[in-house]
A and B are shown apart, each in its own frame.
Chain A
Amino acid sequence: MVDYGRRFLIGLCRGDQGLAALALGCILSGMRMTMSSACVLALGALSLAAGMGQVGVEATLSPSFTEGQSDAEWKEFVELVCLDCHGGRDPSGGLDLGAALLDPSAHVDDWEKAYSAVQGRYMPPATGTLGAGLDREERIEWTGGLLRLLQADGEDPGASTIRRLTRSQLGGVLHDLLGVPVRVNRFLPRDASGYGFDTTGDTLFVSPYYFEIWFELVDAALDDVRGNRKAAMALYDPGGDVREQLQEFVGRAFRRRATEAEVAARLGIVRAETLSGATGEAAYFEAIRATLLSPVFLFRTESNVDASQDHSPVDGHTLASRLSFFLWGTIPDPELKGHADSGGLYDPEVLASEVQRMLKDDRAMWLGKDFGMQWLGASELKDMTPDVRRFGRFNERLRRTMGDEALAFFGDLIRHDRSVLECLDSGHAFLNGQLAQHYGIDGVEGKNIRRVPVDDARRGGVLGLGAVLTITSEPLRTSPVKRGQWVLDRLLRSPSPPPPPGAGVLPDDDRQEDGLSLRRRLVLHRADPSCASCHSRMDPLGFALEGLDGIGRIRELVEGAEPIDDSAVLDSGKSIVGVAGLKEALLEEPERFVRAFTEHLFVYAIGRPPGLMDHRALDGVVRRAAAEGYRFSSVIQGIVSTPAFLRRRSPEPSSTLESSEASEPR
């Protein structure tokens, strides 16, 4: 909890009587402390400060209020610190914490907002009542108080929306089921994304047109199977029992045992087709078509073991599916399915060893490709249009190679189970001849990308990836703002909020007609306090990367003119120089990065952003990872053991009105 004594002191030391008095008021009012110690000291300090200056106060005022905080005190803190802005008639940002305090459980959404603002270190602002932001301990205390206030259920898995398979998952699943590669990208649109990942249920739409294409795709895929005798025979054995084959296929496709009704419906199709003159195979393929078009296939339908509880563990098949879609992007393999069938997956040891096995499998490269590229934003590389005249070296081959570099980095991280801190800094890069030449590194030849030790701090880790540096640049220049925001968003998961209306925009070329450097302009921009609050967080992070140009090359001069200036003063007051300084600063708080990385993986795996109810579990993941040297697998194991992954909320019983109204879609 916030140490009011310290606040009191801050007020005193700044000569801010108001703040000191406020802190004192807080001390005197809400605390069931004995007046004897702190308050007397505080009063003494007040007169001391007023009369004799501020020498030596800190040492005498050690008792703090962080122990044994009560809910009343927590509320008091919110009232004193937050309500000036977030209360009353026109609460700032529409967030009324006054109302939320009166009835906490009815305002969970508001508390979520407050929580993420505090976690993201936006609130309380340095310019507010406290005169400073919260430090790490204080944030932990504050969040703890909030969780107590809300009586948060630590086992609650939260609400996730049912998810359709994504385009890239469909590609893998169809290949696994049908035995032929299916070019889904030729048919299906790129999936929209929520919170940075396309695996979030809320943005996985099925429109009439989507279904129309899906219908067409299934047809085309089955055509391809027919054209490939080996695949067709693997799928359908004319001599075998049709019911058994259907049972097996539908079960695999639906990622659980097929029900009697499901098999019977398909047998009906086979019969009708045969009656109208179709061959056995043609009839059987119609049944397969009905399976792939079914919502049970297209959506990840899940169930939990006890629907009478608000939430309970998911059933074995659901858990197996969650695992295999998370790590492999496709349906469970026979071994995992076996554990689901037997119920063995409920044993934490079996679960852990399955995760380990799956991560060692080549299919885990999926995670690098699907999660890794979305996390880094490297999937945006194909949308970038560096100016062809300014960056003549940028061509399609380089674009692809930069993507491959990012992939290789992530693949190596997974394959060798390295520390995720290597994302921040590692002594090696992934290069082939072309990239090495592009980056100005000698001695690497050939087309194959391989791990190469590097001693230049500007390489190694994700900050040195060509893909990252390119997607955070404009066509004609680097963008310290974009890069800073990228670091905040991707590496720390606390992006800056949008600029206020009317905020200016930077010129889009480094070559300045008015001679003002980009950096100088940004400094001017920050003179406006409303801009400074965010830009003082973003810009310095980006400045530190100024030694790398718009397509990731090392540079000493900006556009061949001025020397680059990659020194910066971080929001914390720390001065850094260049990429090396930035890496060092980020590594000073490894758990902050790991928490952010974990949260990104969480969004990807669970399909929703983490909320308050996940706070403790995520803290646990980070602690556990820290104890295991932040190995990649330790983070994955942690996520897999959160309630959000292992459990599921039971669907609320549908009202008759709702179900009758909606069972007849328009």
Chain B
Amino acid sequence: MKVQPVKRIARRALDRRTLLRGAGAALAIPMLESMAPPLRTELVAPKRFAALFCPNGMLPAAWAPVSEGGDFTLSPTLAPIEGVRESVLVLGNLFNKASRAGEGHYVKTTAWLSGAPVKRTGGRDLRVGTSIDQHLAGRVGSRTPLSSLVLGIESVRNRVDMGYSTVYGANVSWRTPTVPAERELSPRRAFDRLVRWTGTRGDGGRSRRVLDVVLEEAKGLRQALGTYDRHKLDEYLESVHTLESRIAAFEGTGPSDTADTPDGAVAADAPPEKPGAYPEHVQLMLETLLLAFRADATRIATFMFGNAVSGRDFSHVEGVKGGHHGLSHHENREGKMAMYALINRWHVERFAWLLGELGKMEEGSGTVLDRSIILFGSGLADGNRHDPNDLPILVGGGVLPGGQHVRQPELTPLCNLYARVLGEFGFEGEAFGDSTGPLAGI
């Protein structure tokens, strides 16, 4: 596998960040066009799923549109979606039952995409549930070079908070109920990876020879370990298998449809951030996501604007002074509520922008947006009360009918939405988490 030249080019490309903006896209496309043929045989334009997570909830008073149905009035927070309104479904009254217990943030973040109960632990035996994106990645991910792209901004922190490992607050995507899908935090590395794994060629069997030895040793080692350690080693074994089969697929010597298991994106840390660099960082990550979708490098992605309880200073937004988490606890004071809502609105703006860009990407007879489900929202409603009911949820794209505000019956599980998503991906009738059926009424 000769990754070197490609990698070098990619590095250089990314050293000039602007390349990602314009030329970066152009750079990746030809490479993707020349990708291994078995991966590109589908004739029907594929469906895609992405979930964008915001920490710390949304101010309900500024979020909820006034009326329901097709002619609802956009609320102050939702005003930015005006231009893509017909592609956005505003959902009300969804809730995540399992996240009502525990504490204010971590369970509501980490179970946002799974609806699973969260085990309270400082590190040992982490347990949530496989998230919907990773579940989908496991089902359809083998059709693309990368089964999923898992993006974030903030590194995991070294501590236990409220009795919960902060690993929980740093992950919405869980590859298995016990192992998070590692996130890509650096735009450079995310881009690097797209280029590397969509443009590499075989290396004459060298890597396979090496991996054969490695796998043998892993199996031998496994025999000598206790049960819990064996599970740990199995993570490794699975990882080697994944890489091995991906290499095989690129060499054209292996079946491509078994080439992948769910994986996520890791990253070197995000560099320590200069004040004001955050919006740029977010922008680059979203552009990477766009690039991945456009090039069909993956069809599944998640992005975290921040980790649970993020105290990020949002003073870069006009009219805001203070940290995100702090302002979310507005104590019903007008000044703070206004600033909190402005932060929420800033996030909605990013979402609207992403939809707009997807709407410009032509594919077959339509656009990528037409065949996408782009989830946006938070794991809690009012941050001041850590309220897990009536979650703020938007669904963008043409798969679910947009242009309407639909409130579900009281206590409708958030997982009903995920069951619906599963149906749209061809797995009708399957339950997910605590779903009671696919989301109806839209």
Q: Do A and B bind each other?
A: yes
Contact of A262 with B217 in the complex, beta carbons under 8 Å: yes
A388 to B160, CA, bound (A): 28
Q: If the complex has contacts A203-B123, A208-B261, A504-B329, are A193 and B227 also in contact, measured as CB distance less than 8 A? A: no
Contact with B along A500-537 (1 / 0, CB 8 A): 01101111110001000000000000000000000000
Contact of A211 with B217 in the complex, beta carbons under 8 Å: no
Q: If the complex has contacts A205-B180, A208-B242, A209-B265, are A286 and B315 also in contact, measured as CB distance less than 8 A? A: no
Q: Which of A193, A213, A269, A293 contacts B123 (CB 8 A)?
A: A193
Q: Which of A189, A273, A377, A396 contacts B274 (CB 8 A)?
A: A396
User: Does A662 make an interface contact (CB < 8 A)?
Assistant: yes
B-chain residues with CB within 8 Å of residue A193 when the two chains form the complex? 123, 156-159, 165-167
B-chain residues with CB within 8 Å of residue A261 when the two chains form the complex? 220
Contact with A along B308-324 (1 / 0, CB 8 A): 00011101000001110
Contact of A202 with B123 in the complex, beta carbons under 8 Å: yes
**What's the least CB distance linking A469 to chain B, in Å?**
16
Contact with B along A269-290 (1 / 0, CB 8 A): 1001100100000000010011
User: Does A98 make an interface contact (CB < 8 A)?
Assistant: no
A-chain residues with CB within 8 Å of residue B44 when the two chains form the complex? none
User: Does B14 make an interface contact (CB < 8 A)?
Assistant: no
Q: Which of B125, B197, B210, B336 contacts A293 (CB 8 A)?
A: B210
A357 to B122, CA, bound (A): 34
A-B contact count (CB 8 A): 277
A534 to B233, CA, bound (A): 40
Contact of B236 with A206 in the complex, beta carbons under 8 Å: yes
User: Does B45 make an interface contact (CB < 8 A)?
Assistant: no
Q: Which of A219, A289, A665 contacts B234 (CB 8 A)?
A: A665
Contact of B158 with A380 in the complex, beta carbons under 8 Å: yes
Q: Which of A380, A382, A501, A608 contacts B124 (CB 8 A)?
A: A608
Chain B 231-247 interface residues, beta-carbon cutoff 8 Å to A? 231-243
Residue of B nearest to A381 (CB): B272
**What's the least CB distance linking A571 to chain B, in Å?**
20
A32 to B261, CA, bound (A): 66
**What's the least CB distance linking A599 to chain B, in Å?**
13
User: Does A476 make an interface contact (CB < 8 A)?
Assistant: yes
Residue of B197, B326, B386 most packed against chain A (CB within 10 A): B326
**What's the least CB distance linking B91 to chain A, in Å?**
24
User: Does B126 make an interface contact (CB < 8 A)?
Assistant: yes
User: Does A374 make an interface contact (CB < 8 A)?
Assistant: yes
A290 to B240, CA, bound (A): 12
Q: If the complex has contacts A501-B103, A651-B225, are A211 and B236 also in contact, measured as CB distance less than 8 A? A: yes
Contact with B along A652-666 (1 / 0, CB 8 A): 101000110011011
Contact of B385 with A207 in the complex, beta carbons under 8 Å: no
Contact of B385 with A502 in the complex, beta carbons under 8 Å: yes
A-chain residues with CB within 8 Å of residue B263 when the two chains form the complex? 207-209, 212
Contact with A along B1-37 (1 / 0, CB 8 A): 0011001000000000000000000000000000000
Contact of A207 with B333 in the complex, beta carbons under 8 Å: no
Residue of B nearest to A216 (CB): B3
Q: Which of B123, B228, B239 contacts A210 (CB 8 A)?
A: B239
A-chain residues with CB within 8 Å of residue B313 when the two chains form the complex? 385, 387-388, 475
Contact with A along B381-396 (1 / 0, CB 8 A): 0001110000000000
User: Does B275 make an interface contact (CB < 8 A)?
Assistant: yes
User: Does B431 make an interface contact (CB < 8 A)?
Assistant: no
Contact of B213 with A269 in the complex, beta carbons under 8 Å: yes
A503 to B157, CA, bound (A): 23
User: Does B42 make an interface contact (CB < 8 A)?
Assistant: no
A-chain residues with CB within 8 Å of residue B243 when the two chains form the complex? 208, 211-212, 215
Contact of A192 with B165 in the complex, beta carbons under 8 Å: yes
Residue of B167, B239, B336 most packed against chain A (CB within 10 A): B239
A396 to B165, CA, bound (A): 28
A502 to B226, CA, bound (A): 43
**What's the least CB distance linking A518 to chain B, in Å?**
12
User: Does B361 make an interface contact (CB < 8 A)?
Assistant: no
Contact of B123 with A665 in the complex, beta carbons under 8 Å: no
Contact of A662 with B230 in the complex, beta carbons under 8 Å: yes
Contact of B268 with A188 in the complex, beta carbons under 8 Å: yes
Contact of B315 with A207 in the complex, beta carbons under 8 Å: no
A-chain residues with CB within 8 Å of residue B274 when the two chains form the complex? 396
**What's the least CB distance linking B248 to chain A, in Å?**
14
Chain A 252-304 interface residues, beta-carbon cutoff 8 Å to B? 261-262, 265-266, 268-269, 272-273, 276, 286, 289-290, 293-296, 298-299, 301, 303
**What's the least CB distance linking A188 to chain B, in Å?**
7
User: Does A162 make an interface contact (CB < 8 A)?
Assistant: yes
A513 to B333, CA, bound (A): 10
Contact of A290 with B210 in the complex, beta carbons under 8 Å: yes
Q: If the complex has contacts A215-B243, A654-B227, are A209 and B264 also in contact, measured as CB distance less than 8 A? A: yes
B-chain residues with CB within 8 Å of residue A162 when the two chains form the complex? 225, 229, 232-233
B-chain residues with CB within 8 Å of residue A549 when the two chains form the complex? none
Q: Which of A209, A213, A286 contacts B206 (CB 8 A)?
A: A286
A-chain residues with CB within 8 Å of residue B122 when the two chains form the complex? 194-195, 609
User: Does A198 make an interface contact (CB < 8 A)?
Assistant: yes
A-chain residues with CB within 8 Å of residue B165 when the two chains form the complex? 192-194, 203
A505 to B166, CA, bound (A): 19
Contact of B225 with A507 in the complex, beta carbons under 8 Å: no
Contact of A290 with B238 in the complex, beta carbons under 8 Å: no
For the A-B complex with A206-B239, A269-B210 known, give 4 more contacts whose Cβ atoms are closer than 8 Å.
A198-B158, A208-B238, A383-B155, A396-B274
Interface residues, chain B, CB within 8 Å of chain A? 3-4, 7, 103-104, 122-126, 154-167, 170, 175, 179-183, 185, 189, 196-197, 204, 206-207, 209-211, 213-214, 216-243, 261-269, 272-275, 311-313, 315, 321-323, 326-327, 329, 331, 333, 335-336, 384-386
A-B pairs, top 5 by smallest CB distance, nearest first, are A194-B123, A508-B326, A498-B162, A505-B329, A651-B226
Q: List 24 interface pairs A-B (beta carbons < 8 Å), by A numbering.
A: A189-B269, A192-B156, A192-B167, A202-B125, A203-B123, A207-B175, A209-B263, A212-B197, A213-B266, A215-B243, A265-B217, A273-B209, A286-B209, A293-B214, A295-B217, A377-B158, A385-B311, A474-B311, A474-B323, A507-B329, A508-B322, A509-B326, A609-B122, A654-B227
